[in-house]
Structures are given as structure tokens and as C-alpha cells.
Structure 1
């Protein structure tokens, strides 16, 4: 699917991710990850009423997304991606800020897994208050890289 062109001068808007966005999401997903999610995985997460799924747009072009599921009292950031050519421009940080604006309350906890080799992502998560808490050995199927488990508690 061809997306409309976007320029960096267009304001970034964050809104709820919808099923209609999935063709654009899949293009970004396949470019962003060596082991991308399937369309069915995104559909499943979008069907969960307790989840928060967000789209970042410049103009009408989807440039990033975030998928977060709630498990009991903990939010789990399941997937976040930005078009590769737009990385390091604040889009992922804006998506995370939008998540916190919707879900934060005192003591609210968040978790995620990230590749330790993804230094830019680890650094961003640390700036957002996430702290390393352990590893999941061999978590990533494509190269058996461990996952770094990170946690954030709102207000800390």
C-alpha cells in the first residue's frame, strides 16, 4: 500500500490505531524488524478492549505505532516501531508519552522487552524512566539474542 508523502514540517499527531491502519503498519513492521509480527498478531492486540494501540501520523502518513496490553495492574509495551528513515526524531518518545498520558496514575507499572543490542531504544527507555530488571535468554527467534527486561513505575 502506498502512503501519502509526509514532510517533517507537518505536525505529529497521535491517535488510536485502527484495523484500517494495518496495511501501513505491516509495511513499517517488515522494514523495522528482522522477526516481524504477523497481521494476525496485530489484529489480536487491537481486539483486546483493555489495550492501548496508538498511531503516529505526519499529515495523513502513518510513521509509527505502539501496541500495549494490560495484564492485571501492569501495562506491557508489546511493540513500538517508527519508519526507519524517521527514527531518532522523537516519534517513539511521543508515542510513549501518549501512552503515559492515557494510562499513568501514581504507582502505575510498565514493562517491556528490548534487544540489548538496540542501544538507541535502551537509551530512550532509560530516559523515560525504565530500568533494567533482568534478561530472557534466547528470547528473539531470529538470532536467539536475549531480551533485556525493563520496568517503569509512574512517579518514580
Structure 2
């Protein structure tokens, strides 16, 4: 697929496939971004799957964000999106989501994508809603660090049309 370049600040942002060589930077970013970061083994497992989409966002050659999305039959599961805290609100997550949607053929709205997000993460929820994701329920006590629920969100042809009547009930 194409490499996407976005200028959110004075320095362009480059989006490309995440590689094993990126993992030291990914792990460091995870530790800065999340109270319960993914382990190295989790990233290795996701990178080993041929059906997934794993993306890196780089600015000035430094990894400033990453995304992991796995495919389960006809549904995509956005499992991890992280942006370095000092790079937030500069278009990194938006660029990653745009590239993901382009790569999975979702620009026409046909791809079904789901994710979990903390209800307290208002910025992420607003971002996902701009991309057509809608809340479809909760996973109780999903987050290990504080027992917070997860808000389950979906992006489907129905949510893009403003309806919630056709959100899949898929166990992931």
C-alpha cells in the first residue's frame, strides 16, 4: 500500500508498515502512553499474523505512534493505537486511522471495524466518532489497572449511515 504523509506540525508524518525492527521504540512508546502497556510478546504475535494491519507513524525518523488491527473473518478489530504523549493532538492517530481504512478497503464504508476504549478517554471517543464509530455496549471491568469498563464501538455501513440497527454481535 501507499505511504501516507501528513503535515500536522512543521514536520511531515510518515505512515508505513510496522516491522520487528520497530519493536524497541514501540515498547518504549507503549510504556509512556499506557498504564498497562502491551508486552513484547503481544506485538510479536500480532506482527506474525499475515491477515492483520500493523502501522507505524514516524516524524523525523522517530516512531511517534503505532496501530495494531487484526482480522477475524469479516470483522476488523482495532486492538491497539498509541501516540507518544508529547505528539498527541497533532494528527498522528487521525493519520493512522485514515491509512488503516484505506488499506482494508473501508473507504467505501463496507469494512466492519470494532474496538474497545476507556469511557474516560473522551478524546479517543471523539476521534473514533469522527470516523463513524458508534457505541454498542460495554465490557465490564475490562481494564486490569483500575477495573474500568470498556466502551465497545463499531464502524459499519449502518453506523456510517447514522443507524445502530445493524451492529454485529460478534465475539472477539
TM-score normalized by the length of structure 2: 0.84
**Equivalent of 2:156 in 139, 153, 156:** 153
1:120 matched to 2:154? The reply is no
Partner SS for 1:124: helix
Query: What is the rounded CA distance, in whole Å, between the counterparts of 2:14 and 2:39 in structure 1?
Result: 25
1:136 matched to 2:139? The reply is yes
1:78 matched to 2:92? The reply is no
Q: Tell me which residue corresponds to 1:58.
A: 59
Query: What is the rounded CA distance, in whole Å, between the counterparts of 1:101 and 1:107 in structure 2?
Result: 11
Residue deviations 1:127-150 (CA, integer Å, cap 9, x gap): 110000000000000100000000
Residue deviations 1:11-41 (CA, integer Å, cap 9, x gap): 1110000000000001110011101100000
**Structure 2 gap ranges (5+):** 1-8, 162-172
Q: Tell me which residue corresponds to 1:38.
A: 39
Query: What is the rounded CA distance, in whole Å, between the counterparts of 1:62 and 1:107 in structure 2?
Result: 30
Structure possessing the higher relative contact order (Cα contacts under 8 Å, 6 or more residues apart) = 1
Partner SS for 1:96: helix
1:91 matched to 2:81? The reply is no
1:110 matched to 2:120? The reply is no
Query: What is the rounded CA distance, in whole Å, between the counterparts of 2:10 and 2:61 in structure 1?
Result: 13
Query: What is the rounded CA distance, in whole Å, between the counterparts of 2:17 and 2:145 in structure 1?
Result: 30
Q: Residue 22 and residue 133 in structure 1: after superposition, are their counterparts in 2 closer, same or farther (change >3 A)? A: same
**Structure 1 gap ranges (5+):** 1-7
Q: Displacement of 1:106 after TM fit?
A: 4.6
RMSD: 1.3
Partner SS for 2:28: helix
Structure 1 segments of 4 or more deviating over 4 A? Answer: none
